[in-house]
Amino acid sequence: MRTLTVDDRQLVVDMMLRILGQVDAEGEHLGTTNPDEALRLAAERPLDVAFLDIEMPRMSGMELARTLQERDPQVNIVFVTSFEQYAVEAFGLHASGYLLKPMTKASVADALANLRYRPRESAAKPVEVRCFGAFEVLVDGRPVQFGRTKSKELFAYLVDRRGSSCTYDMVVGALWPDRRVGETQKSMVRTLLSDITSTFEGLGIPGVVERDGRGGMRVVTDLLDCDYYRYLEGDPQAARAFVGQYMQQYEFAEEVALMLSARL
């Protein structure tokens, strides 16, 4: 996995990098005492985990965590500090862990084994789908840019249906609930499907959405690494990732959001 350690003391950074090298010998482990450098490194390629000191002079670990989460809502944040009193605030940011100094190999290994979000390298499927929080689609760690905003919403609806065949009537009812099903809306659905297909083909991933002979459409779930699907399968990391929000920008997702929240 790709980790970043940020602490205002170089000695602590060096110690953490040594431990990480022992716990995850094949990973890429970066460290810095400079928050600006940390943000630059995070922008180069997505991080799996950020180990952050809390009390730093230029930018606190809490501030840095918020900035990293704004850029990547599912980066795992693990706070590393000498003070216990920040624990409540840390978990208010949905931190994946809270380590007290001095760190040990065992405590770091335990933190990595219990991350809130699964490391990207462990996902064998080509399309990463995040349903918890705002809906997002990523390939190689980068957001997929569809040609139309509504294409992303249609893809979200198909993901929500978990591979079940969806008719044009169902899609129109979900995406345009205040409109009657007509040829104009069906034509728009065909346009959105074409955009989704061409977008994924352009990324070298054909066949993400299939059309069946009965006029329906479905997402091919075997190509998706989806937090919602893993949650339903009992994946503990996916369970930790859900904090009450599901595809929060889409009205059609409200029923599933309520169902999942009832399990908390």
Q: Tell me: the pLDDT tens digits for 135-164?
A: 999 998 789 999 999 999 999 999 999 999
Question: How far, CA to CA in Å, does 191 sit from each of 118, 162, 206?
Answer: 34, 22, 17
Instruction: Provide CATH 1.10.10.10 ranges for the chain.
Output: 123-261
pLDDT 10s digits, 108-133: 999 998 888 878 765 568 999 999 99
- For residue 168, which of 250, 222, 157, 208 has the smallest C-alpha distance? 157
> Average of pLDDT values for 35-55?
92
Q: What's the longest Cα–Cα distance across the chain?
A: 67
Judged by DSSP in three states, 153 sits in: helix
Is pLDDT at 183 greater than 80 in this prediction? yes
Global confidence as pTM = 0.67
- For residue 53, which of 70, 66, 65 has the smallest C-alpha distance? 65
Tell me the two tokens of residue 230. 């893993």
CATH architecture of 123-261: Orthogonal Bundle (1.10)
Tell me the two tokens of residue 177. 């609930």
> Average of pLDDT values for 201-216?
89
Mean pLDDT of the residues in the chain: 91
Is pLDDT at 90 greater than 80 in this prediction? no
CATH class of 2-120: alpha beta
CA pair distance 107, 109, nearest whole angstrom:
5
pLDDT classification of 241: cutoffs 50, 70, 90: confident
Instruction: Provide CATH 3.40.50.2300 ranges for the chain.
Output: 2-120
